[in-house]
Structure formats: C-alpha cells, structure tokens
Amino acid sequence: MPHAPLIRLENVTLTRGGRVVLDAVSLDITERRVGLIGTNGSGKSSLVRLLNGLLAADKGRVSVHGLDASTQASELPRKVGFIFQNPDHQIIFPTVAEEIAFSLEQAGMPRRQAAKEAVPALARFQRAHWAERPVHALSEGEKQFLCIIAVLVMKPALLILDEPFSSLDLPTRRRLETLVAGLEQQVILVAHELDAFAGYDRVVWLHEGQVRGDGPPGEIIPAYRAFAEALA
Ligand SMILES: Nc1ncnc2c1ncn2[C@@H]1O[C@H](COP(=O)(O)OP(=O)(O)OP(=O)(O)O)[C@@H](O)[C@H]1O
C-alpha cells in the first residue's frame, strides 16, 4: 500500500507584499530527503515557512505530518524543526548550555530537569565541552551547529534547513551535511549549492512561485543548471 504523504500542499496560493509568491502549488511529499531549489525570489523560503506555520496560505490546504497548517498551526513547531540561514536569528541565550536547556523546556521538559539534561544532550553530539561557552564566542559554523543541536534535541519529525550553508566554509559545511545525512528525520533542504543534494531522494525546482521541475536530483539538477546558465 502506498504511504500517506507526510507533507501535502493542495492548490496553495500565497501572497506577500501584494505579490503572488506561490501560485496554485500542489505537492505530495513522502520522501525522507527532499531538496528545494530555484533562483532568488522563486518562493523557496516562503514555501518552507508554510510548513512550520510562520506563514499561512491565502488559498489551498497545507498538511504536515498529520497536522493541518491552518487549524493546528500552534502544534507545528513541535513537529517541525527549522534552521535559518542566520543563526543569530535563532539563538537567544548567552551560553550554549542555556540555549540547549531552553530547547528541552520547549519540548516539554520541566525547567530544573532541562538545566540538568543540557550537558548530556550536548554530549550526544560530542559537544559537551561547549556547555559553558558564551554563544557570541562561537564561530559562524559552530553557531549553526549549535542551532541544529538545539532543534534536534526537541526531536522534530521534520527538519527544514533554509540556506544553512551560506556563511560556512567548506569543511564546516561538509560536517553539517554529514550530520544531516545521518539523521532519522525527514529533511527538507533549501540551498543554492547544487552538490548538496547528492544522495537526496527528490528535488523540487520552484520558478516564479510554481513548480518547474520535480524528480530525482540526477534529472532536475542538470535541467536547472542549464536553465540558470542560460539566464547568466
Ligand atoms: N517579508 C516579505 N514581505 C513581502 N514580500 C516578501 C517578503 N519576503 C519575500 N517576499 C517576496 O516573496 C518572493 C519570494 O521570496 P522567497 O524568500 O520565498 O524566495 P526564495 O526563493 O527563498 O529566494 P532566495 O533564494 O533569494 O532566498 C520575493 O520575490 C519577494 O517579492
């Protein structure tokens, strides 16, 4: 029997600042590793923000891991972990341990227990030695790593990474890719680095708010590359 789609967009239209940025988009996503590509302004960030309730569709339906994004939006953050391009938008506490303790609390753990569990949680990612470090003293790559740990300790069913590599050097990016590759969770990755989708199950190409291509990376990436080269 085919699996019910984990993510379903039905005829979704989204308007931002008076412009239609997603135009009657329909997608059923069951795959565990999904890439989202497209030129600047094509609607990628807007689409993934519908999946964690940061934006709401003007028309159509969005469901994510059994939750309706319009009627159950407040429950989405517990199922959907979101990594932003800029870690400074996500980190709020002065030390690494406090940041992780806050995540554990968000996931429902009582405050005292969360404070005790922060170091063991960091240890599961081989980062126990970061516990007392001030967040501002971490490098950009380390901050991004911390954001991923902070999200993963909440055990989301879906992890969305929206251009997570933009400020990272190649070794740091590779470390994050390896970490993400080993996760059990469903992952949606938005990225301009096209080699990041090696091993992915599916790539969706958005163009001007519509799906222009959708299929295995080996099929969609070359088509997108040719399209992008022709624009240059
Ligand atoms: N905060 C906003 N207010 C109004 N309009 C916005 C806002 N953010 C984005 N838009 C509009 O939505 C369109 C799609 O933007 P979106 O950020 O989804 O694109 P993207 O594909 O993620 O682009 P990029 O690759 O540049 O990050 C943009 O062209 C812009 O017109």
Tokens matching residue 105:
């609390």
What's the gap in Å between 63 CA and the centre of ligand 1?
A: 22
With tokens 């890439």, the residue in question is 35
Residues 107 and 88 in one domain: no
The pLDDT value recorded for residue 1 is 43
Question: Which residue type does 190 have?
Answer: V
User: Among residues 194, 207, 110, 114, which one has the least CA distance to residue 153?
Assistant: 114
Residues 190 and 159 in one domain: yes
Q: Which pTM value belongs to this model?
A: 0.91
What's the gap in Å between 22 CA and the centre of ligand 1?
A: 10
**Predicted confidence (pLDDT) per residue in 66-115, tens digit:** 999 999 998 898 899 999 888 888 888 999 999 999 999 988 899 999 99
Residues 128 and 176 in one domain: no
What's the gap in Å between 136 CA and the centre of ligand 1?
A: 28
The pLDDT value recorded for residue 85 is 82
The pLDDT value recorded for residue 232 is 79
Task: Pick the residue whose CA is nearest to atom 12 on ligand 1.
Answer: 21
With tokens 């159509």, the residue in question is 60
Is the residue at 2 inside a domain? no
Is the residue at 1 inside a domain? no
With tokens 């992008």, the residue in question is 228
Calculate the CA 154 to chain-centre distance.
14
Looking at the CA of residue 46, tell me the nearest atom of ligand 1.
18
What's the gap in Å between 163 CA and the centre of ligand 1?
A: 13
Spell out which residues line ligand 1, taking CB within 6 angstroms. 16-17, 19, 21, 38, 40-46
With tokens 């709401």, the residue in question is 56
Task: Pick the residue whose CA is nearest to atom 17 on ligand 1.
Answer: 45
Residues 82 and 180 in one domain: yes
Q: Check pLDDT > 80 for residue 5.
A: no
**Predicted confidence (pLDDT) per residue in 158-198, tens digit:** 999 999 888 778 888 888 888 888 899 999 999 999 999 99
Residues 162 and 61 in one domain: yes
Residues 166 and 86 in one domain: yes
The terminus-to-terminus CA distance of the chain in angstroms comes to 45
Q: How far apart are the C-alpha atoms of 68 and 213, rounded to whole Å?
A: 26
Residues 104 and 167 in one domain: no
Q: How far apart are the C-alpha atoms of 157 and 6, rounded to whole Å?
A: 10
Do the interacting molecules here have an ipTM over 0.85?
yes
Is the residue at 17 inside a domain? yes
Q: How far apart are the C-alpha atoms of 88 and 91, rounded to whole Å?
A: 5
Q: Is 154 helix (H, G, I), strand (E, B) or coil?
A: coil
Neighbouring-strand partners of residue 16: 19
Tokens matching residue 34:
């999904």
Range of the domain at 195: 7-94+134-231
**Final residue in a domain of this structure, among 133, 154, 188:** 133
Do residues 58 and 15 make contact, with C-beta atoms less than 8 angstroms apart?
Answer: yes
Q: Check pLDDT > 60 for residue 2.
A: no
Q: How many domains does the chain have?
A: 2
